[in-house]
A and B are shown apart, each in its own frame.
Chain A
Amino acid sequence: MSLVELKGVSRWYGNVVAVNDVTMTLGPGVTGLLGPNGAGKTTVLHMMAGFLAPSRGTVTVDGQSTWRNPSVYKGLGLVSEREAVHGFLSGWDFVLASARLHRLPDPAAAARKAIDLVEMADAQHRRLATYSKGMRQRTRVAAALVHDPAVLLLDEPFNGMDPRQRLHMMDLLHAMGEQGRTVLFSSHILEEVEQVSGTVQVIVAGRLAASGDYRTIRRLMTHRPHVFSIRSNDDRRLAVALVGEPSVSGVDLSTVDGLTVRASDYGTFTRVLPKIARAEKIRVERLLPADESLESVFSYLVAS
């Protein structure tokens, strides 16, 4: 069982704070590191993998600092987001080199096993330069898994994969989590995290915004207030009717933008709106969710 621990970790570049006072502990199982673009996920991952020194705080794997400590890689595998590979090597050469550099007793057997695990045996003798993005990604996962690490860190591992490869990678991560490995993968896509991991760490603007069971966080996300922009043939009368609706927490009326409605419950409001409109004989011409961007979901989590 391996533990990855971050204690009061901050990282800044000059005046820019990329990661701000993050404390988290990752144990066996799959954990999703979720956050919008630019939130600091990669910075956190790089610090965990020993490729970046924390400006403050400590990052350890099983009590060992990861910075300036190559021996930590004996039990740690990393799949970075940057997909650069030695294009002149074949997939087999690449994974075999990884096994040799780990000084495994039987590098060839370990490489074969890792390649089979990611289902790349058919194309293993082709040069990496000829691989598709998804194939390169799987080969990099094989190279990171070749020494059977207790901790596996993956930065946006589903990028560039087709749906079938995605499912396969999800199964692979699941299986590794069930085997008792500590697996952390970053993603900015909610659904990916939902399908793979039960535990999530949500990071927004360099801060840890939420941490724990995915379902709890998902509930927080679904029950947050939603903002809708509505246009109808009689905005004022619709506003009056909506104010009486319990799922509506606020209404703004503008002659230019029409109605802006804040609903406390997404599901109830979207069900009740057509009924109100029909009862009042109002024609709704446009209904737009105004804040459905992932960033707004994350910002809400930070505030709550």
Chain B
Amino acid sequence: MNLTIARITARGLFGRRRFLLLLPLPVLLVGLALLSSWLGARPDEWTPPVVIGLGFGVVLPVMALIVGTGVLGSEIDDGTVVHILAKPLPRREIVFAKLAVAVLVTALTVGVPLFLAGLVTGLPRFAVGLVAGALVGAVAYTALFLALSLVTRRPVLVGLVYVLVWEDLLSNLLSGTRVLSIQQYVIAVADKVAPTDLLQGNVSLGVSLVMASIITVAGTVLAIDRLRSFSVAGETS
């Protein structure tokens, strides 16, 4: 992995204000879990809306969206990507470094609050399951969103449509769409690692892992190919 690119990417990511705007989301997740428990709600009452609805349904994909599209997309937007591309580096090295930073940051910012929320249920194994799900989700989502930032000029919008319309809306209405939903793979993995009544996986673990791998590899390969053909528009002055 190219540490120079990873370092610049991480510094760029933490230096942007929009990243700070996202910190309230994980805080909200832990806060709601604590509040529900404090108010005396049973875990089976608050876990579905807080952990599944907010944690896996919003916090994980939205964090992955901001980070995944930000690691390369923001450099494309402001033109600084040219400095990295005008180097004799295989493009896969650049994509791997960016992806590694994105996965790490997403896994940390989502995994930690999910773990804490899991602990509130009093089931440590459940907390570990949530972290495992978050890890799989962080990898698949960021690979998908990183590729989106090279395919479209509006990666955040397209990503939001995928998360909100495809995963949150259609997956609840049409069971067939669940096979193409990263959120469902995340739930399946968490459920397998910590089988409880709190999570109901709709897709088998095998299908989840295979599909998550396909999305990750396809997204990465697509990103590398698009970066090889990266064009700077002839902005003649």
Contact = CB atoms under 8 A, between A and B. Distances in A.
Interface of A: 11, 13, 18, 37-43, 46, 49, 51-53, 68, 70-74, 76-78, 80-82, 84-86, 88-89, 94, 97-98, 100-103, 140, 143-144, 156, 188
B83 A81 contact: no
Interface of B: 2, 4-5, 8, 11-12, 15, 78-80, 82-91, 228-237
Contacts of A18: 234, 236
Contact of A82 (B5, B82, B87, B230): B82
A103 B93 CA distance: 13
Contacts of A39: 236
B12 to A, nearest CB: 6
Contacts of B8: 86, 89, 97
Contact of A51 (B91, B230, B237): B230
B87 A101 contact: yes
A39 B237 CA distance: 9
Contacts of A89: 8, 11
Contacts of B90: 70
Contacts of B237: 37-38, 42, 81, 156, 188
Contacts of B11: 86, 88-89
Given A70-B91, A156-B237, 12 more contacts: A11-B234, A43-B236, A46-B231, A46-B232, A70-B88, A72-B88, A84-B79, A86-B80, A86-B83, A101-B4, A101-B5, A101-B87
Nearest to A35: B236
Contact of B4 (A49, A80, A97): A97
Contacts of B230: 51
Contact of B86 (A13, A49, A53, A103): A49
30 contacts: A11-B234, A38-B237, A40-B236, A41-B236, A42-B236, A43-B236, A46-B232, A46-B234, A49-B86, A51-B82, A51-B230, A51-B231, A52-B234, A68-B228, A68-B229, A70-B87, A70-B88, A70-B89, A73-B86, A74-B88, A78-B86, A80-B82, A81-B237, A84-B82, A85-B83, A88-B11, A88-B12, A101-B2, A101-B84, A140-B83
A304 B118 CA distance: 79
Nearest to B78: A84
Nearest to A143: B83
Nearest to A88: B15
Contacts of B235: 42, 81-82
A148 to B, nearest CB: 13
Contacts of A82: 79, 82, 235
Contacts of B83: 85-86, 94, 98, 140, 143
